């Protein structure tokens, strides 16, 4: 049975109460193939030590999460943030992560299109390091409800435009169902990402109805309203053969027994795989 979990990865934030070692152990015991590591999960630890933990558990690392945050009115601050991303690329390489996920940032008061220019410039500046390190950069569009202060890229289309402008094999898009499920252009945009080989990551969770908190009320797959089977089918049809990454921020789920929660994640994932496949 565990073969079907080969392409499943879980983000450490999903089981936030666990240390990296606990998470790696519990994921591996269930046959989960990957662990996407949040920067917060390796604070106070060297990347080498973190890598030893995931290697010893036999896990692979789809992504280091999260870099980006390119947007600030001050140019020197923007440069500082680019430098911070250089450090994260180095960390990702040491960790053996395939990619660095970029939450691009936003700052209130500057037109969003101008901010997207900063994002494009910031990523462009990182290309030499990313290529040399063999770390891909995945732009993650965030839901429009985060447009004020977290991400000036709120649809796949705007992420794709940056990929097209930079036209570099190291730059692509992370599609998280939570952020894009409502987009009338979703299927079309997934197809386009497939055609341009820029579909780098696929993140799973669900949209709770009602959503009680804008940040930490994501649902387990199947507990919300997103057409996960449909989106997963579209992603497969676009030729995506990477990881299915479960990324759930939820105060409610963090309060639960994390072992039981992880069991349900695996169960819902298997159900999803059986539905769309």
| Of residues 90 and 157, the one with the C-beta less far from its own copies | 157
Q: How far is the CB of 120 from its own copies (least distance, A)?
A: 14
Q: Which residue lies nearer to its own copies by CB, 44 or 184?
A: 184
Task: Report the distance separating Cα 114 and Cα 112, nearest Å.
Answer: 5
CB 103 within 8 A of CB 147: no
Tell me whether residue 44 or residue 210 sits nearer to its own copies (CB atom): 210
Pick 20 or 163: Cβ nearer its own copies: 163
Beta bridge partners of 64: 37, 100
130 CB contacts (<8 Å, ≥6 apart)?
Answer: 89, 100, 136, 137, 170, 171
CA distances from 232 to 27, 90, 132 (A): 22, 31, 32
Quote the least distance from Cβ 215 to its own copies, whole Å. 9
> Least distance in Å: CB of 5 to its own copies?
27
Count of all residues that appear for the chain in the document: 277
Rounded-to-integer distance, Cα 22 and Cα 28, Å: 10
In angstroms, give the least distance from the CB of 107 to its own copies.
Answer: 9
Task: For residue 203, report the phi and psi dihedrals to the nearest 5 degrees.
Answer: -110, 135
Q: How far apart are CA 17 and CA 166, in angstroms?
A: 38
Indicate the residue among 100 and 153 with the shorter CB distance to its own copies. 153
Least Å from the CB of residue 263 to its own copies: 25
140, two tokens: 């993650």
If the CB atoms of residues 136 and 150 are measured against its own copies, the closer one turns out to be 150
Specify whether the CB–CB gap between 150 and 106 falls below 8 A. Answer: yes
- Taking the complex as a whole, the smallest distance from the CB of residue 204 to its own copies amounts, in Å, to 17
| Interface ranges with its own copies (CB under 8 A) | 108-109, 111-113, 143-145, 147-149, 154-155, 157-158, 181-184, 207, 209-211, 214, 224-225, 227, 230
- 23 with 47: CB under 8 angstroms? no
């Amino acid at each position: 049975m565990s073969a079907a979990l080969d392409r499943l990865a879980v983000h450490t934030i999903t089981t936030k109460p666990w240390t990296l070692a606990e998470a790696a152990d519990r994921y591996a015991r269930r046959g989960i193939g990957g662990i996407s590591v949040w920067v917060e999960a390796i604070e106070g630890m060297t990347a080498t030590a973190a890598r030893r933990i995931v290697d010893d558990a036999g896990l692979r690392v789809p992504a280091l999460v999260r870099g980006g945050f390119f947007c600030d009115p001050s140019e020197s601050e923007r440069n500082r943030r680019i430098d911070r991303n250089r450090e994260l690329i180095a960390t990702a390489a040491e960790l053996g992560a395939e990619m660095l996920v970029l939450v691009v940032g936003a700052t209130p008061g500057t037109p969003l299109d101008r901010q997207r220019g900063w994002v494009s410039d910031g990523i462009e500046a990182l290309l030499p390091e990313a290529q040399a390190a063999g770390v891909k950069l995945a732009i993650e569009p965030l839901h429009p409800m985060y447009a004020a202060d977290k991400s000036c890229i709120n649809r796949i289309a705007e992420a794709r435009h940056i990929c097209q402008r930079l036209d570099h094999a190291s730059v692509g898009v992370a599609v998280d169902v939570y952020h894009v499920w409502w987009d009338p252009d979703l299927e079309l945009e997934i197809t386009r990402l497939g055609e341009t080989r820029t579909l780098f990551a696929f993140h799973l969770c669900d949209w709770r109805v009602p959503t009680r908190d804008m940040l930490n009320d994501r649902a387990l797959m199947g507990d919300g309203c997103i057409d996960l089977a449909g989106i997963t089918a579209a992603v497969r049809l676009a030729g995506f053969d990477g990881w299915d990454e479960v990324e759930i921020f939820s105060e409610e789920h963090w309060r639960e027994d994390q072992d039981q929660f992880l069991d349900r994640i695996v169960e819902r994932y298997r159900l999803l795989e059986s539905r769309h496949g």
